[in-house]
């Protein structure tokens, strides 16, 4: 029996450290499940050889119990944008299809030190651009609940792997909504920490870019907290570290006194497909049952100003990273059109345009801080549309409203991403179409641990991730 594959990551880790479960047993069962389930979704790519992985598991089992770290022997597949020493790192681009990483990314090194065993990568869109995990190197990742639909992105492979029970814990990264959207579309949790809680990678530019961050995905807030204990450690080599937080969850379901503000579709500024708002609002009713007070909140800021501020700052950051490829005509031709659009836009920005974008960001941060004087948590859907056909590049319309950029349909993510607030995507169940959805709860900067406590209380009465994809419930 392999029921331990569906345990929480915390339960697996406890059993691995105590010796009640061997790393070899867990690894063998994990590889068998990947063999049985991954073909339907293409979530895990560049899977390492079984002999190598079993040898690492044997080494983990040989370690004395008093030297076993928090993630000792736990199989983890790292998002295919990160470096794992000695393995391939393609970022989904044919330009890097043969690249071998020479060292670990900083967060990967922390996971390794905590005892994780890296089994491969989780699929992404090329360079992580767009919330649909497809690329010319690894192909498309499909939704476990509907194989003709996308699993989202850019952490789509991670979300699908969790939903399929192929891993119990996953990393992701989030610039626009790449931890939150695929979590909602795969019926799991995705947590974007306050910017600076997980330090930015040392080396290169570390002062300006304050948009993207690393974070965890899991089937419960408790497992999110487990990974945060590993990831959230200050790094003196980079600026803007946030103070340490206590990630322990109290294990209670009491939300008495919590004030939740429901932003809906931002008073119509963010078109949303039918059924999504009702499903998300229904999930907030569960919080009301636990003692929270949920009230509608009027749109607090100009949605267009937020979107274009974010779009300019994102393009500027991406152009700095991708310009060396863009400036070589031969390599530019091998970049996806969306990447070329981002770089061209970023390179064309004037200093006055960047200043204006920064001024809007600053004004929104002040406005949000004032808003959190009257509510503790704000809520928005994690997406404005249901998981769309996997054959599409991206949705060009929502309810007849044309999307003027490849990421406009993810505008609902911008209020959080622009100013680095903590946010967690919590599952809200399934629409009449059978597709999963999520709602994002977000709080003032630095309120990460409190936000996890709220999500944990909600999880204890809903447990949506335990509603496995129908065709996998007996596999």
| Overall fold of domain 3-472 | Amidase signature (AS) enzymes (3.90.1300)
pLDDT at 102: 98
pLDDT at 474: 53
State whether residue 234 is helix, strand or coil.
Answer: coil
Among candidate residues 93, 154, 194, 220, the one labeled active-site is: 154
pLDDT at 166: 98
pLDDT at 157: 98
Per-residue pLDDT of the chain (475 residues; tens, 9 = 90+): 899 999 999 999 999 999 999 999 999 999 999 999 999 999 999 999 999 999 999 999 999 999 999 999 999 999 999 999 999 999 999 999 999 999 999 999 999 999 999 999 999 999 999 999 999 999 999 999 999 999 999 999 999 999 999 999 999 999 999 999 999 999 999 999 999 999 999 988 899 889 999 999 999 999 999 999 999 999 999 999 999 999 999 888 789 999 999 999 999 999 999 999 999 999 999 999 999 999 999 999 999 999 999 999 999 999 999 999 999 999 999 999 999 999 999 999 999 999 999 999 999 999 999 999 999 999 999 999 999 999 999 999 999 999 999 999 999 999 999 999 999 999 999 999 999 999 999 999 999 999 999 999 999 999 999 998 876 765 4
pLDDT at 475: 46
Among candidate residues 79, 121, 336, 445, the one labeled active-site is: 79
Task: Tell me if residue 173 is catalytic.
Answer: no
Among candidate residues 93, 105, 173, 178, the one labeled active-site is: 178
pLDDT at 473: 61
Task: Tell me if residue 178 is catalytic.
Answer: yes
pLDDT at 434: 96
pLDDT at 185: 98
pLDDT at 123: 98
Task: Tell me if residue 18 is catalytic.
Answer: no
């Amino acid at each position: 029996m392999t029921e331990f594959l569906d345990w929480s990551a915390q339960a697996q880790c406890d059993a691995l450290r105590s010796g009640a479960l061997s790393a070899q047993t867990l690894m063998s069962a994990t590889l068998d499940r990947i063999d049985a389930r991954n073909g339907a979704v293409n979530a895990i790519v560049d899977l390492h050889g079984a002999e190598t992985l079993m040898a690492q598991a044997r080494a983990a089992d040989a370690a004395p119990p008093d030297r076993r770290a928090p993630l000792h022997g736990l199989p983890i597949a790292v998002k295919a944008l990160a470096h794992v020493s000695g393995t391939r790192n393609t970022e989904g681009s044919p330009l890097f299809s043969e690249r071998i990483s020479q060292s670990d990314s900083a967060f990967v090194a922390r996971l390794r030190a905590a005892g994780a065993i890296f089994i491969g990568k989780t699929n992404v869109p090329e360079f992580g651009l767009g919330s649909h995990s497809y690329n010319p190197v690894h192909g498309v990742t499909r939704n476990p609940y509907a194989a003709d639909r996308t699993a989202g992105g850019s952490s789509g492979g991670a979300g699908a792997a969790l939903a399929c029970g192929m891993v119990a814990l996953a990393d992701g990264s989030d610039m626009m909504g790449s931890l939150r959207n695929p979590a909602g579309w795969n019926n799991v949790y995705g947590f974007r920490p306050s910017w600076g809680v997980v330090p930015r990678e040392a080396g290169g530019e570390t002062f300006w870019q304050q948009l993207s961050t690393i974070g965890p995905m899991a089937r419960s807030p408790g497992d999110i907290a487990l990974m945060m204990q590993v990831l959230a450690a200050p790094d003196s080599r980079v600026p803007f570290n946030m103070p340490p937080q206590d990630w322990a969850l109290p294990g209670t379901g009491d939300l008495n006194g919590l004030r939740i503000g429901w932003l809906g579709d931002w008073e119509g500024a963010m078109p949303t497909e039918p059924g999504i708002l009702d499903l998300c609002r229904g999930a907030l009713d569960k919080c009301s049952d636990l003692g929270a007070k949920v009230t509608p909140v009027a749109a607090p800021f100009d949605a267009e100003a937020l979107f274009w501020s974010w779009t300019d700052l994102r393009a500027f950051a991406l152009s700095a990273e991708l310009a060396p490829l863009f400036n070589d005509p031969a390599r530019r031709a091998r970049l996806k059109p969306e990447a070329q659009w981002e770089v061209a836009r970023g390179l064309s920005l004037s200093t006055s345009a960047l200043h204006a974008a920064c001024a809007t960001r600053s004004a929104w941060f002040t406005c949000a801080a004032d808003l959190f004087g009257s509510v503790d948590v704000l809520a928005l859907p994690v997406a404005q549309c249901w998981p769309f056909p996997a054959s599409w590049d991206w949705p060009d319309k929502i309810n007849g409203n044309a999307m003027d950029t490849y990421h406009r349909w993810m505008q609902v993510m911008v209020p959080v991403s622009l100013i680095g607030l903590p946010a967690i995507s919590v599952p809200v169940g399934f629409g009449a179409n059978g597709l999963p959805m999520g709602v994002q709860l977000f709080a003032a900067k630095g309120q990460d641990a409190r936000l996890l406590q709220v999500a944990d209380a909600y999880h204890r009465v809903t447990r949506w991730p335990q509603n496995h994809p129908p065709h996998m419930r007996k596999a």
